[in-house]
Structure 1
Amino acid sequence: MSEIDPSNRHREFLRAFTTNEPAVRAFVRRLVPSRTDADDILQEVSIVLWEKFDEFDRSGSFKSWACGIARFRVLAWLRDKGRDRMVLDSGVVELIAEESLRVEPELEQQRDALEKCFEKIPNAQRDLLSQAYRRNASIQDVARTSGRTLSGFYQWLHRMRKRLLDCISRELAKETLS
């Protein structure tokens, strides 16, 4: 492992972290019961990643390294929350973590396909979809903003989901053929 030039260390870390943060976030989210818990754990993970960045083997995968650290942070969180009956046993979390890491390449392909397909949607429709899926969004408010009735908005939302799903399927099929 080589020492990083201090002037580039921060830039290199930020590039690796921002590229892989969605996958690490999704990994953590699959292991804990709530989004808030996942956010808290991810903050801790990002601090540990920064503190240990000099130990990262540049020939390896940053995402795998980050998920490994995230796994230990989740287990530490579980240990600390162990008295709470709503928390999974650490053995179950280990199984979920292993399965999550196994399917991560496929999930990354799906995320990439979703991103490509989402970009193909006209801006106004994309904005409405984003509003509908924001945390704590009120579908009634979004429907009203769109000028549709609630029922009409749900129908539109169903058509948009179907459109995205069909596009994602086509994108994934292209990747399989190439």
Structure 2
Amino acid sequence: MLPENLDQILLLITQNQGRLYSYILAVVGNREYAQDILQETNLIIWRKADTFTLGSNFQAWIFTIALNQIRAFRKQRGRDRLLFDESLMIQIAEEVEQFQDYDLRANALSLCLQKLPDKHRKIVHRRYFQDTPLTNIATEMKTSSNAIKSLLHRVRHTLLHCIQQQIDLKEAN
């Protein structure tokens, strides 16, 4: 039976393919195995699509399906030396899931960087994207290294606060 919200489910599946593959690869540590498991996981996701409730955590749902497929794959492969043991696999899976909000944070950071005054954004860019030493930035800005260091500290605090606000807004919607 096809789910009534087929278009939305297809969009979610498509949007999450990269994350899903990365998750599987991180857990199994082998590209060929990860591709096989991804295909099987996608089949299960498709078969169970009508059980997914829109508005709930799609990524957690597909990661759970993927972890079950990884377990099934391990069982099929037996004691293959190229696979992690069960306890390590679970530990890796838990660690990877903690980073599931990476895209959300990256998007929030991008928005927050745009909100900074030009001067601050340029300094952040020089320091963190171009890896320019503080002394060089200070010389270019005709100020002290301590002043730049202090400014960057305040900007990081501002960015952190802004990112958290963006995430809170996103989660509220």
| Deviation, structure 1 residue 90 | 1.3
Q: Report sequence identity in percent.
A: 28
RMSD of Structure 2 on Structure 1 (CA): 3.4
Match in the other structure for 2:62: 66
The alignment of Structure 1 onto Structure 2 pairs a total of residues equal to 128
> 2:108·2:163 contact (CA, 8 Å) conserved in 1?
no
Query: Could you list the runs of 5+ residues in structure 2 that have no partner in the other structure?
Result: 111-127, 133-155, 167-173
Query: Aligned pair in 2 of structure 1 residues 30, 165: CA closer, same or farther (>3 Å)?
Result: farther
Q: CA deviation at 1:113?
A: 7.4
- Using the TM superposition, give the Cα deviation of residue 175 of structure 1 relative to its aligned residue in structure 2, in angstroms: 2.0
Q: Structure 2 vs 1, CA of residues 40 and 69 (structure 1 numbering), >3 Å: closer, same or farther?
A: same
1:55 matched to 2:51: yes
* CA offsets 1:85-132 (integer angstroms, 9 cap, x no match): 121111211111112112321x33466479x6xxxxxxxxxxxxxxxx
Tell me the residue number matched to 1:16.
Answer: 12
Contact 2:41–2:66 under 8 Å retained in 1:
yes
Pick from 138, 152, 163 the counterpart of residue 175 of structure 1.
163
> Which string of whole-angstrom CA distances, capped at 9 and with x for unpartnered residues, describes residues 36-78 of structure 1?
2111111111110000111112231111100000010011111
The answer on whether the counterparts of 2:41 and 2:69 sit within 8 Å (CA) in structure 1 is: yes
CA distance in 1: counterparts of 2:96 and 2:54, whole angstroms: 23
Alpha-carbon distance change, 55 to 29 in structure 1, aligned in 2, over 3 angstroms: same
Q: 1:94 pairs with 80, 83, 90, which one?
A: 90
For 2:16, what is the secondary structure of its paired residue? Answer: helix
Give the TM-score of the pair, scaled to structure 1: 0.58
Q: Which runs of 4+ in 1 moved over 6 A?
A: none
* Aligned residue identity for 1:12: Q
Structure 1 gap segments, 5+ residues each:
117-161
Give the TM-score of the pair, scaled to structure 2.
Answer: 0.60
Structure 1 pair 12/33, CA: closer, same or farther in 2 (3 Å)? same
